[in-house]
Amino acid sequence: MFRAFRRNIHTITSGGKYTLEFKKYLADAKGRPQSFFHDVPLNYDRAEGTVNMVVEIPRYEQGKFEISKELPLNPIVQDTKKGKPRFINNIYPFHGYPCNYGAVPQTWEAPTLAIDVEGKQYYGDNDPLDICEIGSNVDQAATVGTLKRVKILGCLAMIDDGEMDWKLLAIDTADKLAPHLHDVPDVEEKMPLLLENLTRWFKNYKLPMNKPENEFAFQGRWLGRARALDVIDECHHRWQALVAGSHTGKK
């Protein structure tokens, strides 16, 4: 199903990359615009632990690209800071983003509904779920707007400016390591230090912008696949409520 969907869609780019005018749109085989947020199917298979992913920021990229919730048809644009395109700083020994970073379509971390984590109440960050794809197929480099079928492996509960900002961990189902990775312990065994370094990057990447370190629930531990799948369930249901008009996206 995913392969058929991917064959029948393409992207349309407006404006130059790294400019304020840059927009990347999704379109179907007939050229009709589609939404990265709403029209890419989730295709959630809980038994296999697989979902679809939209790559917003390819590995090693410094430009801060994201799906726009505000613009019609939800193109991918570059975030801005003080009216200029936003880039993240390199943090030694990393260059740009250490993974293929993106969003899970048809999910939503609702800012209107609090969730209880370790006895504290947190609201969502009003975005689709973030996802980190850690595949090793460097010869199949992703680009802005690439669609991937990924296997969920775990999640990290990051607290960003007091909001819950889950980071899902996944690997491309076509990756050579995918058959050997099923949960967090497998990642620790097959890809030693990767989780530790991802946590360190998420903790520190805002420091050069004179912002504080990001915080984490659960002492910064990566939680297992079962918890990550529960997060997807919850955020998909909240997306369904959003498109049905049950939630406005405002506190």
Convert the pLDDT of each residue in 210-227 to its tens digit. Answer: 999 999 999 999 999 999
**Residue 155 · residue 222 · CB < 8 Å:** yes
Single-letter code of the amino acid located at 170: A
**Residue 96 · residue 60 · CB < 8 Å:** yes
pTM, two decimal places: 0.94
**Residue 216 · residue 159 · CB < 8 Å:** yes
Q: Does the pLDDT of residue 141 top 90, yes or no? A: no
Total residues belonging to the chain: 251
Tokens 């960003």 label which residue?
Answer: 160
Strand partners, 167: 130, 156
Mean pLDDT confidence for 9-21: 96
Least confident of 84-88, 118-122, 188-192: 118-122
Q: Does the pLDDT of residue 5 top 90, yes or no? A: no
**How many percent of the chain have pLDDT more than 70?**
96
Residue-wise burial string across 93-120, b where 16 or more C-beta atoms lie within 10 A, e elsewhere:
ebebbbbbbbbbbbbbbbbbeebeeeee
Mean pLDDT confidence for 170-177: 95
- β pairing state of 147-160 and 50-57: antiparallel
Q: For the chain, what is the mean pLDDT? A: 93
At 12, give phi and psi (nearest 5°): -125, 125
Residue-level pLDDT at 146? 95
* Rounded-to-integer distance, Cα 30 and Cα 11, Å: 12
Convert the pLDDT of each residue in 45-54 to its tens digit. Answer: 999 999 999 9
Mean pLDDT confidence for 152-156: 98
* Rounded-to-integer distance, Cα 100 and Cα 128, Å: 16
**Residue 203 · residue 216 · CB < 8 Å:** yes
Residue-level pLDDT at 251? 45
DSSP 8-state secondary structure symbol assigned to residue 124: B
Confidence of residue 140 (pLDDT cuts 50, 70, 90): low
Confidence of residue 248 (pLDDT cuts 50, 70, 90): low
Q: Does the pLDDT of residue 134 top 80, yes or no? A: yes
Residue-level pLDDT at 120? 85
**Residue 67 · residue 128 · CB < 8 Å:** yes
CA separation, residue 97 to residues 77, 130, 206 (Å): 17, 13, 12
Residue-level pLDDT at 72? 96
* Rounded-to-integer distance, Cα 181 and Cα 188, Å: 10
Cβ count near 209 (within 10 Å): 10
